[in-house]
Structure 1
Amino acid sequence: MGFAATLDKNLSIAKPEFNRWLIPPAALAIHLSIGQAYAFSVFNAPLNKAYGWSIPSLGWIFSLAIVFLGLSAAFGGKWLERVGPRATMFTAALCFGGGFLVSALGISTQQLWLLYLGYGVLGGVGLGLGYVSPVSTLIKWFPDRRGMATGLAIMGFGGGAMIGAPLAVYLMDKFKSDAGPGIAETFVFMGLIYTVSMLIGAFTVRLPAPGWKPEGFVEKEDPKKLASHVYVDADTALKTPQFWLMWAVLCLNVTAGIGVLGQASLMIQEVFKGSVTAAAAAGFVGLLSIFNMGGRFFWSSVSDLIGRKTTYLVFLLLGAVLYALVPTVGAGSVALFVGLYAVILSMYGGGFATIPAYLSDKFGTRYVGAIHGRLLTAWSAAGVLGPVIVNYMRDYQISQGVAKASAYSTTMYVMAGLLIVGFICNALITNVDEKFISRED
């Protein structure tokens, strides 16, 4: 049997004695690796200082990665369902790790376009394929706990920066010498480490045998969920209003959160000028990362108890209230400001972790990987919209003479308004019409 055969979907089907609890660690090996993307900003200042590349030009590397994450997830999701998670994870590992190596070449030769190509395009494809491949597999293994299972994996993406940021700083310091700043060497080392980690996940993962169910699990009729033998295929899902309402819900929830996440450090320093240092602001960003990560597991597990639609109603309505409180209640107290944003970011992360289970409830588990991949184009759109709204509105306010401490007030009200629109979209989501549904023989 050749190496290529080991990637065959049929050869990754689990034997009866396989322990399904080995799947979450395999998924975490992937998501903790690609979650490094949230920590890419630690390279911006060193690259700017060492090579003179401007911060805005470096910012496009992360933006490109998120855009290609969404595009590759959209186009690769259907391929995932055909070839299986192992081949998809293997490809993701080569793309994400290879993106670091191409970027290292760009740094050593001082060619910025190679960073765009390496981390932005190639790495972005690895992000997208790596993001969706464990999710559909977990949902198939945990039909009794769909929300918890996807939360376990996607929690890793939220927490990847907690490993990636200090690791990058440590390695740059370790490799720094009179010959150079050690950034290229850091990229090589991290590319190899992440490739190995993701390959371990790829060759650990298994698919359940057709018709497999957890021991003692009896599927109950639930009008809010499609049974496991009922499904909507990926192409048909695009014809349903439910898909586009969920696309809007995810886009609006992420737009509100990601815009704040990108400016969190600057925002708290400007709102509380003189009382919050740069070091304290960095601590604030770290705290938001913890709530972003923890919210992914907490809220997705809660959704198993109260339902996906109800969970999103909480995200959108409570989120709108909290955003509206920031300019008044939050601006008067550092503790309240931090507390409001901690809850907001927990729901931002929770939105990512809950959406795959929400999709499987409405469209079935059979093609959830492909449908989830297409829905992630909402993330690509939000990755542009959120920062644009926050950054440009801030600059406009300041140009009109508004003090920096107050320049975010209107933005927060706009974000609250976006979440109200999302609340309405979520309220309109119903069960998929019978004409779109297929049944297994």
Structure 2
Amino acid sequence: MEKRIIRLFIGTIVLLMSGLMYAWSVLSIPIKLDLPSINQGQISLVFSFAMASFCLGGLANGLLKILGRGKISIFLATILMPLGYIISSLSTDITQITVGYGILVGFSVGIVYAYILSNITCLFPGKQGIISGILLFGFGMSSLVFGPIYTKLVAGSPDLWRTLFRYYGVIMLAVLFLSAIFIPDQNPKKDNIEDSTSTRPSSMVGTSAFWIIFLFCLIASGTGLAIISQGANIVSTSIRNISPEKIALYIGIISISNGFGRILVGHLFDTLGYLFSMRFITITALLSQLLLILNTSIGSNTLILIAFILLGISYGGAPSFNSAIAIKLFGQRYYSINLSLLNLQLLIASTFSTISGNLFDKYNSYLPTFYLSIGAVLIAFILIYFMQKSVETIEKSVEKNIRHKQAQKA
């Protein structure tokens, strides 16, 4: 078997293990029972901190990679992620959980995410969309794989989550240590033609394309997070007398769709282009919100299932699009830092989950969240309209740089 295929497999498994962060709406259920003083808004805030820390972790990896020290970041995550789970397991209030899970675990996952993507996608030139999708499939499937197991284990023993967190921290210590050994840090050479197709971070943020992508992914991620972070509570308030095991299954459906959406959008990006993939993400997001609104009055298992499938596909497709477009437009050399800068939209998108939780605490309904999400998705349609012209400007600049580089070598 090709070495790069083995690394792709390892990278997918590492992201699968790290992606447990996205199962927070399930993980937090026994925590709320064990610590009844914590409300839904505070639980949402922990997830918001985790997403914000995730962005900063990716940025840290990107900066170290530019300095040729990317390997340091993965060893840092190997220490901080287990520590975060252990601190969380010892928590007696929301502050300790926020530090352990929201900051340390989130920051470490951000490092791992950027490290794996930047060092695996470069091994498959021309296939970044589908390779990103495969890697991120693992990341998105974590809730499905581990959520039901976790729910079954803690049933009847709310404080058992503490033991499970400690065990998982130890497991992640081993997983990340092995990944640091078997997945080397790739550093593109400075003196080649490909370097002329790469845009420096300082130049990238000055392009209109960067800001269009930033805002588009902000909307796709934010509207997805607003539902995913509240997924368990949305199901329990929409469908009466539903069991915890079935709630975990519904959240797992989002994970399956999330993972499938990452591969699907990656494939669509490679075969039909960036504009088609943007339209696909936006339309599925809009349909999911409309179905969730309809289900508020109907309370149908089928409707919420379809809504969650569409939501998962849309939300899962956004990071695949983000990862692929970062390479297509801005090149491989600064990919790690450029992708991390694009992912800073999650600092804002993560607040959608807190807003959603607070709106529920105030109105005892998720309808305000659904209506706000629809408004945001309509803005995304407008952004697509301006995207093509911005991309054409960048492509012309890249072609000019390549011709200049070739003339110098001649």
Q: TM-score, normalised by structure 1?
A: 0.78
Amino acid in structure 2 at the alignment position of 1:63? S
Shift of 1:303: 1.6
The corresponding residue for 1:214 is: none
Distance 1:187 1:397, change over 3 A: closer
Listed as ranges, the matches of 1:20-419 within 5 Å are 20-56=4-40, 57-83=42-68, 85-104=70-89, 106-107=90-91, 110=92, 113-166=95-148, 168-169=150-151, 181-206=159-184, 229-273=196-240, 279-328=245-294, 332=298, 333-388=300-355, 390-394=356-360, 408=367, 411-419=369-377
CA contact 1:80–1:369 (8 Å) conserved in 2: yes
The DSSP-based 3-state class of the residue aligned with 2:28 is helix
Gaps of 5+ in 1: 1-16, 212-225, 399-403
Amino acid in structure 2 at the alignment position of 1:289? S
Structure showing the higher helix proportion among its residues: 2
Amino acid in structure 2 at the alignment position of 1:32? L
Query: Percent identity of the aligned residues?
Result: 18
Deviations 1:245-275 (A, max 9, x none): 111000001121111222333334444546x
Deviations 1:20-67 (A, max 9, x none): 112212312321122111223444343344455424444433322211
Instruction: Output the CA distance in 2 between the equivalents of 1:209 and 1:140.
Output: 10
Instruction: Output the CA distance in 2 between the equivalents of 1:278 and 1:58.
Output: 18
Distance 1:426 1:137, change over 3 A: farther
Instruction: Output the CA distance in 2 between the equivalents of 1:272 and 1:163.
Output: 23
Amino acid in structure 1 at the alignment position of 2:370? M
Amino acid in structure 1 at the alignment position of 2:182? T
Shift of 1:229: 4.7
Shift of 1:346: 0.9
Aligned-residue RMSD, C-alpha:
3.2
Amino acid in structure 2 at the alignment position of 1:60? L
CA contact 1:323–1:415 (8 Å) conserved in 2: yes
Q: TM-score, normalised by structure 2?
A: 0.84
CA contact 1:303–1:311 (8 Å) conserved in 2: yes
Gaps of 5+ in 2: none
Deviations 1:337-366 (A, max 9, x none): 421331222111111122111111111111
Q: Is 2:358 the counterpart of 1:423?
A: no
Instruction: Output the CA distance in 2 between the equivalents of 1:43 and 1:321.
Output: 28
Number of equivalent positions: 394
CA contact 2:327–2:335 (8 Å) conserved in 1: yes
Amino acid in structure 2 at the alignment position of 1:263? Q
